[in-house]
Structure 1
């Protein structure tokens, strides 16, 4: 019950910021309206995580996020575009494109794929507060539109998305990255291996597929899961399937990679001179001994890393802690 009450409180906070944004728009105070809308989107995301899946308020909060994404464009001058991405025989699907807002220059871009429990518009609502001012465009997709294909289909669909971005006059085709949230982190790894045009990847480093393969082999051969020879085989197999671009693994929290697995991967990659960085979780302790992932901090560190790796000129190295 306490969790539901906190969800209602955060939803009410989002509503208050939304009213403030409308008031600032009426006054033509667009900077203040933008700030208020960004605060509203963050509050709605917190509320959405706190209420139960079957709670009607969850759908109501999601609808407010979608409305906010359309209206916030009035504040900072470039609106979210709804696009139909055609993928040949695989059909077409809806995506959301947020331009960087610098029409006279070609900027980096990131393909962002939501986790398995969320839609693309929900992910964009969560990310928008950390995207403003970074000078990069994003194309946001739903996990279900990418993952629900036969083997290899997800890579083909994502290649069409990459083709779309590469053809846009406001995007630098040599500086396109990919970010996969939740199980989509595995799709991001596979795609970065498949399509070498990707310049940076926020992914699972192949751990999800490697773990499933290792467990299947152990089960079929009745071997000890902790046997050193299996670990050595697995480590070599995993490293061989890594992307050739810089990668960032978001470990812990709601992701699919545990902190211990991520640290072992980074250690093995260092020995092979493979560039792998980590974002480790910052957990917030709530009531009843519950812990919540500080998604604001994690998203900020993730997109700082992407901003650095996709910069035209190398910028000062910053710790992704």
Structure 2
């Protein structure tokens, strides 16, 4: 590989613009006030506390849970005000402190017989523990990762046990193990209903998908959430990293779902969030039982972005191919790793992206992580998707600037397809419309309801 030296010239300048966990099928479909095309990002409302983009986005993400009663704005802002900006340890300490407070409040309410208050406190504690754990992945052996994640899951399970929506904690057969899931039902009648499968992406846990599940229940779907390799319990406890061939994950999930008597196997929708905007389309391309697909937001080719950034910055020759770049990264080049580590020391987003990437891919270095992540491509595969597909993008999504990945996925689809771009006029332009669930759910579920025969 002769291009290695040239590749490092602009690495330090370009690394902060490498997209992280997302991106986004005939003419664009617009939600209320949606942009006809992706526009320049607007100011993030959560910057009223943090100027650091990564901290501001994660605060917005946590505040967004208040839509479903799983956070509260005052609690979030008070916690954020105590955090030293850019300090991962401070982030953990303060969110963990808040989570402990509301876990204790829930315990007190339950002991006094106040089940609803206990449930509400437990939901919020689960969110705050999950937020606390978010930046801990720089040391995969840190015991706080599993400890704090476990506290989040336990608080969530204590909450849903007090809730009124029927559910099951399920284990989905997968290779020589099982994948964890929750199966939520409209009621306990056992009637066969359309199913919505919802999955997370690069950094999520399935408990965060509860608002999506409850919105689906309200619209008449039974809902299955799950975690696959690289996600939630599967990476933290089973230590199974991400895999690019997600069709081998979706197939057993659909096998499990289709085998249930309360699932209408002719109406199974799949919704992938964040990097799930790659994972879900990859699974749907090989799974004819999926009848509608939401890529939220769509991701087409990870390596394409990396290579394009390098070439546009003059750090890689124009004739360099993705295969060449991946081959070089697989040699674990010290110059690439040194450049990335140097950038991580000065940029919170770059540090988080690479620390989490190495964690969820079980990679020993940034180069090893990027080499594995470059396998995530829908080139030659997107065309195989046959079900109606919705690709979503946000006009202010800092993980997919200008909607490049979403547009690429849309352009390569040959199925019935729609592209939905959310403007930031009312705060919906962020990644996956986090912090704007009302607009997000209205537009995306309306599209899904129409394709699944659920309208009205």
Q: Same fold (TM over 0.5)?
A: yes
2:277 aligned counterpart, secondary structure: helix
Match of 1:33 among 118, 130, 144: 118
Separation in 2 of the partners of 1:163 and 1:267? 28
Distance 1:143 1:205 in 2: 19
| Counterpart residue number, 1:132 | 214
Distance of 2:412 and 2:317 partners within structure 1? 28
For residue 112 of structure 1, what is the aligned residue in structure 2? 198
Deviation at 1:274, TM superposition (A): 2.7
Q: What residue is the counterpart of 2:356 in the other structure?
A: none
Deviation of the 1:80 alpha carbon: 4.5
Q: Distance in 1 between matches of 2:386 and 2:179?
A: 27
Give the structure 1 partner of residue 158 of structure 2: 71
Q: In the TM superposition, what is the alpha-carbon distance from 1:49 to its structure 2 partner?
A: 2.8
CA contact (8 A) 1:253 1:281 kept: no
Distance 1:56 1:253 in 2: 33
Partner Cα distance (2:182, 2:160) in 1: 12
Q: Summarize the Cα distance change of 1:305–1:126 in structure 2 as closer, same or farther, 3 Å threshold.
A: same
Whole-angstrom distance in 2 between the partners of 1:51 and 1:273:
41
Question: In 1, are the aligned partners of 2:196 and 2:270 still within 8 Å (CA)?
Answer: yes
The answer to whether the 8 Å contact 2:274/2:431 transfers is no
Q: State the shift of 1:40 in Å.
A: 1.8
Aligned to 2:338: none
Paired residues of 1:269 and 1:275 also in contact (CA < 8 A): no
Aligned CA-pair RMSD: 4.3
1:188 matched residue in structure 2: 280
Shift of the alpha carbon at 1:157?
Answer: 3.4
Query: What TM-score, normalized to structure 1?
Result: 0.68
- 2:262 maps to which of 161, 165, 170: 170
Query: CA 1:250/1:112 → structure 2, altered by over 3 Å: closer, same or farther?
Result: farther
Is 2:182 aligned against 1:44?
no
TM-score normalised by structure 2 residue count? 0.51
How many corresponding residue pairs? 286
Contact 2:184–2:223, Cα closer than 8 Å, also in 1: yes
Q: Distance in 1 between matches of 2:292 and 2:92?
A: 35
Q: Shift of the alpha carbon at 1:222?
A: 1.8
Corresponding residue of 1:9: 94
Corresponding residue for 2:358?
A: none
Identify which of structures 1 and 2 has the higher relative contact order when contacts are C-alpha pairs closer than 8 Å and 6+ apart: 2
1:21 and 2:21 matched: no
- Contact 2:137/2:145 (8 A) holds in 1: yes
What is the CA-CA distance between 1:140 and the residue it aligns to?
0.7
Match of 2:420 in 1: 277
Structure 2: stretches of 5+ with no match in the other structure: 1-83, 235-239, 323-378
Q: What is the CA–CA distance in structure 2 between the aligned matches of 1:76 and 1:30, rounded to whole Å?
A: 9
**Equivalent position SS for 2:270:** strand
Task: Indicate the SS of the match to 2:180.
Answer: strand
Could you list the per-position Cα deviations for residues 170-226 of structure 1 after superposition, in whole angstroms to 9, with x for gaps in the alignment? Answer: 2232332223344443221122222232233233545226837996xx99982899x
